[in-house]
Amino acid sequence: MAAFSYICDSVAVITMSNPPVNALSSALIRAVQKAVEEAIGDFAVEAIVIRGDKGKFSAGADIREFNRLERGPPLVSLIDLIEDSKKPVVAAIEGVALGGGLELALGCHYRIAHAQAYVGLPEVLLGLVPAAGGALRLPRLIGISATLSMITTGKYVQAREALKLGIVDKVVGENTVDEAIQLAKKVIGQPLGSRQLSTLPVQCPPNVEAFLDEAMVKVKKQFRGAQSPLACVEVLRAAVQLPYLEGKKKERELFQFLYTTDQTRAQQYAFFAEREVAKWTLPSGASWKTASPQPIRTAAVIGLGTMGRGIVISLVKAKIPVIALEQDKKQLDIGSKAVMSLLDREILKMEQLGHTEATNSLGLVQFTLDYGKLRDVDIVIEAVFENMALKKEIFRHLSGICKPEAFLCTNTSGLDIDEIASVTDRPQMIVGTHFFAPAHIMKLLEVVRGSCTSSTSISTAMQLAKNLGKIGVLVGNCPLFVGNRLMLPYIQQAIFLVEEGNKVEEIDRALEGFGFAMGPFQMMDLAGLDTLWRCHVEHGLTRPEQSTGTSNHCCGSKRYSPLLGILSEKLRFGQKSGQGWYKYEKPGGRKAMSDPWLHNFLSEYRDAHNFKTQYITQEEIIEWCLYVIINEGFKALEDGIASGPEDIDVIYTNGYGWPKHTGGPMYYASLVGLPVVLTKLEKYYEANPDIPDLKPSMFLKKLVAYGNLPLKEWQFHLGSQNCKL
């Protein structure tokens, strides 16, 4: 677990070891404490270096032990012991020093980091606050403002930036531990007072109270509904207002309060779910363990529109050379300019973080109109218009041009992967790689398996996701896959509520209150009403002959609303045209403003179609809109399109802005209680038999028949016979 050995007579090196990330379990903390005590008590030791085994300092408290912890972590006393040591202690940070890992390093008198190492206090991402003095020591070292940004977002800071901020004393390219030993020797006998962070004053901006009040308002807006970012601001307030020891008490109180909330449980669930989804298995038995991903050294992207541009940037950021292809010179000029401008921005960001080699990435993109250039690439990602005929034409062409080992991927939002694969010479190497906009920022990649897609192709796409810094989730092939399949009823339901007299602003406010970054109408305006309408048409969800129909709002026996089509025909596409469900200051503007024109139009529309007005409360808005997502989630599980509730939750929290502090739609359903969700759906469906999305899924009913089963047990009742993966 932790051992120390003497080096050069006087420096004790203590190695923390708890694979795979040296998480600070109770056993490891005890072992380190014992080793530190021994080193302090040993006359032959004059200085101490603490390092982590296998190139990782520590990823912080052992999250697997969280449910077993009752009184908060004993890490605090270990860190105090280190800080109080009269012998200098140096942290040799390789890999990561996160959460409790960084807190331990902050207790050390000096910190040396490897250039590739990351540090951070990501407790907030688990619904917590730093609990071992991190939020009290860090502002004494780097000031309130930089600490605020780190602890409320949980962001990871690379070594060079950490050096700039003052978190570490030195960054080295190699031999971190040797350098730490040299430093430790050099400072033997020097006074340590100024290195004991808890004894220093907090570095505050002039009007710190106003600064923190303003921070609270911002954080409330940015992390709607989440408690832990607010608690982070409170801990900082305590750091400013109280002496260190009292601040520590406040920190403990806040941690213990958060520790018992549903939000932290949901966020811990989300943490493990994000890692669980990487461990895919097919009905054939092939799995992440048995399949070998193929190396992707070069890539091509076809189509440089909204999605293609972001995909190119994503690949370049992962240092993969890309050939970017467009259909004609005009589009190539537009696309290449857009890519280069995005790339410039990324390079600037990297350079600000001290990456002097960032400009090299400019040379990684090559623009072309010539398909011949794609002959030798390892992977092609197609991102042209959502049109089956066009996609088939392109894949037929690629099949004849690309080397036989090349993987051919499509970014379609929901078209049939098998139909696309059918025109190629390698259906086993066709994969859906469904990125989310903006593709260089969003973390999710839906990896869609067609009926012929091989396990090697899946493994390669999942590994690519990881290399791009994304979370890959494997799903089956069905119209709209998992993410958009669940999204569609949500959008439709929100529009039905508007038809029934509710205001777009009220609906958005209710869902933003729930925690979504934006409500459904702002989201539609962002995505483009025309795009969404085309998607409805492409997937046969409308009656094309009556797209703007005036009387009958049914597609078969199913209710549908022509509003998206009507607004699109009036050129109200959303943000891009400056008006949609809201109006904007200019085309491309982002500030959504209530639009009197729309209110008048909707009121005439309701009168013309005799809609019965049905105002509902905020709580009901949330139920109507979210229960259809949940219900469709159960249907996707029943159909075997998603392999488990965790997959759906990871898709929703990483691709659709579902608030992580509620875990995701399926976790949220388990929190509300499945019998409650079922009863509500039954009631709403009875009142609206023309909305089949409200008809409770068989699987939901089956689960409820067993009582209120916890989410972990759902899988058992699902069986594997239906799995379409």
By beta-carbon proximity to ligand NAI, the closer residue of 170 and 534 is 534
Position 442 contacts ligand NAI (CB under 6 A): no
Give SS3 for 360.
helix
- The footprint of ligand NAI on residues 416-435 (CB under 6 A) is 434-435
* Residue 100 interacting partner from ligand 3HC, ligand NAI, none (CB closer than 5 to 8 Å by kind): ligand 3HC
CB 521 within 8 A of CB 594: no
Phi, psi of 196 (to 5 degrees): -90, 95
First to last CA, the chain: 40
Position 306 contacts ligand NAI (CB under 6 A): yes
By beta-carbon proximity to ligand 3HC, the closer residue of 2 and 132 is 132
By beta-carbon proximity to ligand 3HC, the closer residue of 95 and 308 is 95
Q: How far is the CB of 331 from ligand NAI (least distance, A)?
A: 4
Query: Cα(697)–Cα(675) distance, rounded to whole angstroms?
Result: 13
By beta-carbon proximity to ligand NAI, the closer residue of 82 and 383 is 383
CB 587 within 8 A of CB 574: no
* Residue 64 interacting partner from ligand 3HC, ligand NAI, none (CB closer than 5 to 8 Å by kind): ligand 3HC
By beta-carbon proximity to ligand NAI, the closer residue of 213 and 333 is 333
Which residue's CB atom is positioned nearest to ligand NAI? Answer: 305
Tokens representing 626? 């979210």
* Residue 379 interacting partner from ligand NAI, ligand 3HC, none (CB closer than 5 to 8 Å by kind): none
Phi, psi of 563 (to 5 degrees): -60, -40
Position 326 contacts ligand NAI (CB under 6 A): yes
By beta-carbon proximity to ligand NAI, the closer residue of 99 and 483 is 483
Which of 680, 671, 670 minimizes the C-alpha distance to 703?
A: 670
CB 156 within 8 A of CB 113: no
By beta-carbon proximity to ligand 3HC, the closer residue of 276 and 638 is 276
Strands annotated E in 467-511: 471-476
Which residue's CB atom is positioned nearest to ligand 3HC? Answer: 99
Query: Cα(522)–Cα(528) distance, rounded to whole angstroms?
Result: 10
* Residue 368 interacting partner from ligand 3HC, ligand NAI, none (CB closer than 5 to 8 Å by kind): none
Phi, psi of 292 (to 5 degrees): -105, 125
Active-site choice (46, 103, 505, 538): 103
CA 680 to chain centre: 30
* Residue 103 interacting partner from ligand 3HC, ligand NAI, none (CB closer than 5 to 8 Å by kind): ligand 3HC
* Bridge partners, residue 353, by sequence: none
Q: How far is the CB of 96 from ligand 3HC (least distance, A)?
A: 5
Query: Cα(332)–Cα(178) distance, rounded to whole angstroms?
Result: 52
Tracing tokens 């109006």 back to the chain, one arrives at 583
* Residue 21 interacting partner from ligand 3HC, ligand NAI, none (CB closer than 5 to 8 Å by kind): ligand 3HC
The binder of ligand NAI chosen from 16, 307, 447, 651 (CB under 6 A): 307
Indicate if 620 belongs to the active site: no
Position 597 contacts ligand NAI (CB under 6 A): no
The binder of ligand NAI chosen from 115, 208, 347, 437 (CB under 6 A): 437
Query: Cα(50)–Cα(89) distance, rounded to whole angstroms?
Result: 7
Q: Answer positive or negative: Cα dihedral of 663, 666, 667, 671.
A: positive
Position 412 contacts ligand NAI (CB under 6 A): yes
* Bridge partners, residue 157, by sequence: 119
DSSP string, 273-311: HHHHTTS-B-TTS-BTTT--PPP---EEEE--SHHHHHH
Position 368 contacts ligand NAI (CB under 6 A): no
Position 115 contacts ligand NAI (CB under 6 A): no
Given the rule CB under 6 A, which residues bind ligand 3HC?
Answer: 20-21, 23, 59-64, 73, 75, 96, 98-100, 103, 122-123, 126, 130-132, 134, 275
By beta-carbon proximity to ligand NAI, the closer residue of 269 and 436 is 436
Position 580 contacts ligand NAI (CB under 6 A): no
* Residue 304 interacting partner from ligand NAI, ligand 3HC, none (CB closer than 5 to 8 Å by kind): ligand NAI
By beta-carbon proximity to ligand NAI, the closer residue of 49 and 394 is 394
By beta-carbon proximity to ligand 3HC, the closer residue of 75 and 212 is 75
Burial class (CB in 10 A: 0-12, 13-18, 19+), 368: middle
Q: How far is the CB of 75 from ligand 3HC (least distance, A)?
A: 5
The binder of ligand NAI chosen from 184, 302, 318, 495 (CB under 6 A): 302
Q: Angle 550-555-560 (CA atoms, 0-180°, nearest 5)? A: 65
Neighbours of 202 (CB within 10 A): 21
Q: Which stretch binds ligand NAI (CB under 6 A): 27-35, 408-416, 452-460, 497-505?
A: 408-416
Give CA torsion, residues 94, 98, 100, 102, to 10 deg: 60
* Residue 331 interacting partner from ligand 3HC, ligand NAI, none (CB closer than 5 to 8 Å by kind): ligand NAI
Q: How far is the CB of 452 from ligand NAI (least distance, A)?
A: 20
Q: Which amino acid is at 558?
A: K
Neighbours of 468 (CB within 10 A): 22
Position 76 contacts ligand NAI (CB under 6 A): no
CB 431 within 8 A of CB 406: no
* Residue 482 interacting partner from ligand NAI, ligand 3HC, none (CB closer than 5 to 8 Å by kind): none
Query: Cα(386)–Cα(417) distance, rounded to whole angstroms?
Result: 12
Which long-range contacts (C-beta less than 8 Å, at least 24 apart) are formed by 260-265?
261/127, 261/227, 262/671, 263/127, 263/226, 263/227, 263/228, 263/661, 263/662, 264/126, 264/127, 264/128, 264/228, 265/127, 265/663
Indicate if 123 belongs to the active site: yes
Q: How far is the CB of 627 from ligand 3HC (least distance, A)?
A: 31
DSSP state of 363: G
Which of 621, 682, 584 minimizes the C-alpha distance to 498?
A: 621
Binding mask 168-197 for ligand NAI (x = CB under 6 A): ------------------------------
Position 305 contacts ligand NAI (CB under 6 A): yes
Position 327 contacts ligand NAI (CB under 6 A): yes
Which of 15, 353, 2 minimizes the C-alpha distance to 180?
A: 15
By beta-carbon proximity to ligand 3HC, the closer residue of 46 and 161 is 161
By beta-carbon proximity to ligand 3HC, the closer residue of 64 and 349 is 64
Q: How far is the CB of 22 from ligand NAI (least distance, A)?
A: 38
Q: Angle 315-316-320 (CA atoms, 0-180°, nearest 5)? A: 70
By beta-carbon proximity to ligand NAI, the closer residue of 326 and 646 is 326
Q: Which stretch binds ligand NAI (CB under 6 A): 221-229, 255-263, 381-389, 707-715?
A: 381-389
Tokens representing 12? 């004790």
Position 381 contacts ligand NAI (CB under 6 A): no
The binder of ligand NAI chosen from 158, 268, 314, 411 (CB under 6 A): 411
CB 420 within 8 A of CB 453: no
Active-site choice (94, 123, 161, 326): 123
The H-or-E segment that residue 657 falls in is none
Number of residues that bind ligand NAI (CB under 6 A): 26
* Residue 247 interacting partner from ligand NAI, ligand 3HC, none (CB closer than 5 to 8 Å by kind): none
Query: Cα(121)–Cα(157) distance, rounded to whole angstroms?
Result: 9
Position 331 contacts ligand NAI (CB under 6 A): yes
CB 212 within 8 A of CB 240: yes
Query: Cα(329)–Cα(141) distance, rounded to whole angstroms?
Result: 54
- The footprint of ligand NAI on residues 335-354 (CB under 6 A) is 335
What is the binding site for ligand NAI (CB under 6 A)?
Answer: 302-308, 325-327, 331, 335, 383-386, 390, 394, 411-413, 434-437, 527
Residues that are catalytic: 103, 123
